[in-house]
Amino acid sequence: MFNKILIANRGEIAVRIIRACKEMGITSVAIFSDADRHALHVKKADESYFVGDDPLKGYLNAHRIVNIAVTARCDAIHPGYGFLSENPELAAICAKRGIKFIGPESSIIHKMGDKIQARKAMIEAGVPVTPGSDGNINSVEEAQSLANQIGYPVMLKATNGGGGRGIRRCDNDKELVSNYDRVISEATKAFGNPELFMEKCVVSPKHIEVQILADSHGNAIHLYERDCSIQRRNQKLIEIAPSPQLSNEQRDYIGSLAVKAAKAVNYENAGTVEFLLDQDDNFYFMEMNTRLQVEHTITESITGIDIVQEQIRIAFGHQLRFKQDDVNFRGFAIEFRINAEDPKQEFLPSFGKITRYYAAGGPGVRTDASIYTGYVIPPYYDSMCAKLTVWALTWQDVVQRGKRALDDLIIYGVKTTIPYYLEILNNENFKEGEFDTSFVTSHPELTDFNDELPPDVIAAAISAAIAAHEGM
C-alpha cells in the first residue's frame, strides 16, 4: 500500500481523506494557502506544506503541488473534489513525475470532461442521451436553427462546464440570442474554453446519479443511486440515497446503464454517472463526474463501503473487493450541505468568525466539517462549511432524524442554510418523497422562517458583553 499521500485540497474533504489515510496507516500530507494557516485539515494532517499567499492560485497550481509531493516523498496525490480534481493536467503531470494520481487517467478525465465527447461515447455505448447538437455550436444562427429543430426549451452548455456554471436555459429565440454570448463568456472565464453545445431541456426532471467503482482489471460495479433533485440554480443542496422516487426495476436499470457507461470508456477509480429522469420515466445521460462527489457520504451510509479507501486501493492496483452481487443497501440517508449563506437574502454568502459550534451526534448521524469555534470562514472559497448526513431504516424515520440532527447542529456567528432545510423537511411534498428539480423555485415560501436567536444564546451574549465591560 502507499506510504504517503498528498491531499491536493482543503476544507472538509481534505479532513475526510486524512481520516481515511489514518485508518489505512498511510501518512497524510496537507497543503495550505495563507488564508488556511489555521484550517482544520492542516491541524489534522501528519505533515503540511505552504503553497503560497494567494488563497486560490496555490490550490490550482498543478506543477507546484506535484513538486511538493515529490519533495515530501509522497507516493500518490488525492485531488478530492473541486479545484484540480477534474483537471487532466494534474493527472498527466503526476504520471510524468512518478506520482500516482488517485483517479482516472488524464485521457479519460479529458474525454468525459468534454461534454461533446462524452455524449458521443454514450451514444456509441447505447446509453440514452437527450436530443442535441452533435458537436460544438459555432454561431448564434446555428444555435437558433438547431433549437427550432429540436424544439424549445433548450439548454446552452459549456463543453467543459460543471458545478452549475456555464449553463443557461432558453425558452425562445430571444433568450437564446441573449444567453449565447453569456455562456461563452462564463465558459471562457471559468473553464478556459469558449466552446458550447446544445441539448433539449428536460422540464422539471428528477436528477438521479449513480456511484460507480472500477478497477484496472476490468471490473466495474455500481453502489446504487442518489437523488439530487433538491437544488438551486443547478447547485445541489440536499442529496438522498437511495432515491425514494424509483422502483426497484428503475434502480436496476439505471445502475446497469452507469456500469455500461464506465466500461465503455475503460474507466478506473470512483466516478459518478448523472442522469435526468423525465416525467414520462425516461432516463437520459447528463454527464460523468470523474472524481469523488461531495455527496459520497450517503452512499457510504447505505452500503457500508468506504469509498475513499476503495479509491486508494484501486489506485494502488488492487482489484475491487466486491462483486455486484455483494453490494446491498439498507435504509435511507440524506446529506445536507450546510452552507454559510443567508437564505432570506437570496442565499448571499455569510463569511466570518464562528462564535459557537457544536456538531450533531446520536444514532445514524455523521458530520463532516472543516470548522470549529473561533474559526474564521474565509471569503475566497465555496460557502459550504459542513455536511450533515443522517441515516435511518425508513424514509419517514430519516426525515425525522434529519430534523433532530439539524436542530442539534449549532453554528453561530454566520448565517447558514440550516433553518431553510428544516422548512424543507416539514414540506408535505418532501415528506411524501415527491419532488424534482423545480422544488426550490416552486416553494419560495420556504425562506419565510423565524431566524431569531434562541433565548439561551441571547442571554449568553448579554452575559459576555457585561463581563467584557466590567473587565475594562
Indicate the pTM of the whole model: 0.92
291 a catalytic residue: yes
- Alpha-carbon distance of 60 to 80, in angstroms, equals 13
What's the pLDDT at 355?
Answer: 97
What pLDDT, in 10s, does the model give residues 259-283? 999 999 999 999 999 999 999 999 9
Which among 16, 291, 366, 401 is annotated as catalytic? 291
Same domain, 274 and 361: yes
- Alpha-carbon distance of 390 to 351, in angstroms, equals 26
Same domain, 224 and 346: yes
* C-alpha to C-alpha distances, 45 to 58, 68, 70, 173, nearest whole angstrom: 18, 15, 17, 53
Q: Is residue 459 part of a domain?
A: no
Same domain, 9 and 52: yes
Same domain, 325 and 423: yes
In percent, the amount of the chain with pLDDT more than 90 equals 90
What pLDDT, in 10s, does the model give residues 235-252? 999 999 999 999 999 999
What pLDDT, in 10s, does the model give residues 182-200? 999 998 988 888 999 999 9
Residue-range definition of the domain harbouring residue 247: 206-447
Same domain, 186 and 273: no
Q: Are 329 and 385 in contact (CB under 8 A)?
A: no
Same domain, 93 and 230: no
In one letter, which amino acid is 161? G
Q: Which residues contact 434 (CB under 8 A, 6 or more apart)?
A: 245
Q: Is the model more confident about 43 or about 463?
A: 43
What's the pLDDT at 190?
Answer: 83
- Alpha-carbon distance of 390 to 285, in angstroms, equals 28
Q: Is residue 289 part of a domain?
A: yes
- DSSP codes joined into one string, 384-410: EEEEEEEEESSHHHHHHHHHHHHHH-E
- Alpha-carbon distance of 230 to 227, in angstroms, equals 8
Q: Which residues contact 30 (CB under 8 A, 6 or more apart)?
A: 6, 7, 14, 18, 41, 42, 44, 45, 47, 48, 49
Same domain, 298 and 410: yes
Here the cell at position 395 is 424514509
Same domain, 410 and 283: yes
Same domain, 84 and 157: no
Mean pLDDT of the chain: 94
What's the pLDDT at 234?
Answer: 87
Smallest CA-to-CA distance from 244 within 305, 300, 298, 174 is with 298
Q: Is residue 94 part of a domain?
A: yes
What's the pLDDT at 162?
Answer: 72
pLDDT surpassing 70 at residue 54: yes
Q: Is residue 10 part of a domain?
A: yes
Assign 186 to helix, strand or coil: helix
What's the pLDDT at 228?
Answer: 98
466 pLDDT tier (thresholds 50, 70, 90) = low
What's the pLDDT at 164?
Answer: 73
Here the cell at position 123 is 451514444
Q: Are 354 and 377 in contact (CB under 8 A)?
A: yes
Lowest mean per-residue pLDDT among 180-189, 400-409, 452-461: 452-461
Same domain, 192 and 222: no
161 pLDDT tier (thresholds 50, 70, 90) = confident
Assign 67 to helix, strand or coil: helix
What's the pLDDT at 140?
Answer: 94
Residue 189 CA, chain-centre distance (Å), reads 21
Domain count, the chain: 3
What is the DSSP pairing of strand 235-241 with strand 220-232? antiparallel
What pLDDT, in 10s, does the model give residues 420-439? 999 999 999 999 999 999 99
Angle at 405 between CA 164 and CA 212, to 5 degrees: 45
Same domain, 164 and 234: no
Same domain, 171 and 213: no
Q: Is residue 116 part of a domain?
A: no
